[in-house]
């Protein structure tokens, strides 16, 4: 392994950061040089009210982080970008038309109805292999078309591709993120002209597809001046879950993963997609991973349930110490279980009240205290993780002997232990920074700082991080 450093721009749905990955002595070390919030804003564009991402502020914050990274490491080899999926910016003549909508904006309701009038959901699944969620890109595109926001000559760039475009001036669609849109052909791995034509989209809306590990280009002169260096940009698994799955420190292939952040994505890694009717009915998705792997998984409403509950309590004037609250929840004998994927839990609002209603309908005790709500959230997420892993194994035929929990949820000992208990499988927790690790490892392989297969890349992680192990209790 060559001693060198790369920079990762890692954007999540609630926060972002710029991370420097340093490779030395057959191991990798991450240092966060900049953290910043990512809060959607509700604003008006003309007469349309909507929930939008402040992408210009995200880009500014990323540039601040890159400048700090260059100061720390003047000889950075490359930059890679990952972000959440589904959302996109519309460009006309190379310029962004407006702040991108958040997938939590309510406009997708009409998009679902109008899309399925043209292409039934069963046909969409057969063509794209993507699970049904009302927030999917395909429904957002239809909503924008109906509202007259999409015109001939427009270009749609998913969030990490938009950031890459602003850094280099090169518009592309990285494959792992494009595969989440519902607009790729799962069989050809290219944009589906049939879906686009039937839904009334121009083929020119979608840019050229590229794989992780593609050299995108040098920084634009204006960006060079801003960050203080000339650094090439490399495509990585730009969907944050794709990078997180690269960052799973598995020693063999008999594992399931849960990438747990604002969203939780649970599933298995496969060589080929599963397109059975049973998989469609179970609402599993087939997304692209590194080196042609398939991420066969299901989206679960993750730590959003906890963070939105905390926002509700703080608006009421309460001060929340989350680690102390989790310890208090862990001391309870048991907790209520509700459907963590109930669509009523997707949008901002009074989350504890919605959880209480879900518990009533599930004939579960209504959580009254903050600790009881927290315990119910963790019990329900653990049950969702366990159920999803069992179902993924059954549908795919993949043997699962352990569950890896990576991302922010790996720090929650209560959630990890409850997942082990409810699944009957050992849980390996960590790394927290799996997404950033996956990002920098793909850059390192592209730059020939390391070599080898995906499994070889994961072995670098096992030599670099400390993991926590949870055995099922009875």
Which residues form the catalytic set?
240
Query: Cα(67)–Cα(33) distance, rounded to whole angstroms?
Result: 9
Within its chain, how far is the Cα of 147 from the centroid? 27
376 in Cβ contact with 325 (< 8 Å): no
453-463: burial string, b at 16+ Cβ within 10 Å, e else:
ebeebbbbbee
Phi-psi region at 160: left, alpha or beta (left = phi > 0; alpha = psi -120 to 50): alpha
454: its two tokens: 């995906």
Query: Radius of gyration (Cα) for the chain, nearest Å?
Result: 21
For residue 141, what is the enclosing H or E element? helix 137-146
235: its two tokens: 């495509």
Burial class (CB in 10 A: 0-12, 13-18, 19+), 361: exposed
399's CB contacts (< 8 A; 6+ apart) are 254, 393
293: its two tokens: 């792997």
Cis peptide upstream of residue 181 (ω within 30 degrees of 0): no
**What are the DSSP E strand ranges found in 171-315?**
173-174, 209-210, 215-217, 233-234, 255-260, 263-270, 285-288, 294-301
Residue indicated by tokens 């959580």: 367
Query: Cα(265)–Cα(245) distance, rounded to whole angstroms?
Result: 10
**What are the DSSP E strand ranges found in 140-204?**
155-158, 173-174
Q: Report the candidate in 324, 425, 410, 414 with the shortest Cα–Cα distance to residue 375.
A: 414
């Amino acid at each position: 392994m060559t001693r060198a450093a790369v920079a990762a721009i890692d954007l999540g749905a609630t926060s972002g950061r710029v991370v420097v990955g340093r490779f030395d002595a057959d191991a990798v070390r991450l240092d966060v040089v900049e953290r910043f919030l990512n809060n959607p804003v509700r604003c008006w564009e003309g007469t349309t009210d909507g929930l939008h991402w402040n992408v210009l502020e995200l880009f500014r914050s990323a540039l601040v982080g890159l400048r700090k990274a260059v100061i720390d490491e003047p000889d950075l080899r490359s930059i890679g970008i990952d972000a959440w999926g589904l959302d996109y910016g519309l460009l006309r003549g190379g310029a962004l038309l407006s702040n991108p909508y958040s997938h939590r904006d309510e406009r997708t309701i009409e998009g679902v109805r109008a899309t399925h009038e043209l292409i039934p959901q069963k046909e969409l699944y057969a063509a794209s292999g993507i699970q049904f969620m009302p927030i999917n890109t395909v429904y957002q595109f239809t909503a924008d078309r109906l509202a007259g926001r999409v015109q001939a000559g427009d270009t749609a760039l998913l969030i990490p591709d938009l950031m890459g475009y602003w850094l280099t001036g090169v518009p592309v669609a990285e494959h792992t993120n494009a595969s989440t849109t519902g607009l790729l052909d799962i069989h050809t791995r290219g944009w589906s002209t049939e879906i686009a034509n039937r839904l009334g989209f121009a083929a020119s809306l979608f840019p050229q597809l590229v794989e992780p590990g593609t050299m995108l280009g040098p920084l634009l002169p204006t960006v060079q001046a801003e960050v203080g260096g000339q650094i090439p940009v490399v495509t990585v698994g730009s969907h944050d879950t794709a990078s997180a799955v690269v960052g799973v420190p598995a020693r063999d292939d008999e594992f399931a993963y849960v990438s747990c952040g604002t969203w939780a994505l649970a599933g298995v890694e496969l060589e080929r997609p599963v397109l059975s009717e049973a998989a469609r009915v179970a609402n599993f998705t087939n997304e692209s991973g590194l080196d042609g792997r398939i991420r066969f998984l299901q989206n679960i409403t993750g730590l959003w349930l906890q963070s939105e509950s905390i926002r509700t309590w703080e608006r009421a004037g309460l001060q929340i110490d989350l680690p102390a609250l989790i310890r208090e929840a862990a001391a309870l004998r048991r907790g209520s279980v509700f459907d963590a994927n109930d669509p009523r839990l997707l949008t901002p609002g009074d989350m504890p009240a919605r959880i209480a209603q879900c518990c009533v309908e599930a004939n579960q005790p209504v959580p009254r205290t903050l600790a009881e709500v927290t315990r119910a959230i963790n019990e329900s997420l653990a049950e969702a993780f366990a159920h999803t892993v069992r179902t993924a194994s059954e549908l795919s035929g993949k043997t699962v002997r352990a569950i890896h929990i990576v991302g922010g949820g790996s720090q929650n000992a209560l959630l990890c232990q409850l997942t082990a208990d409810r699944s009957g499988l050992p849980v390996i927790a960590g790394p927290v920074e799996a997404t950033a690790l996956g990002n920098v490892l793909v850059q390192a392989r592209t730059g020939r700082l390391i070599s080898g297969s995906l499994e070889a890349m994961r072995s670098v992680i096992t030599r670099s991080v400390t993991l926590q192990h949870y055995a099922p209790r009875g």
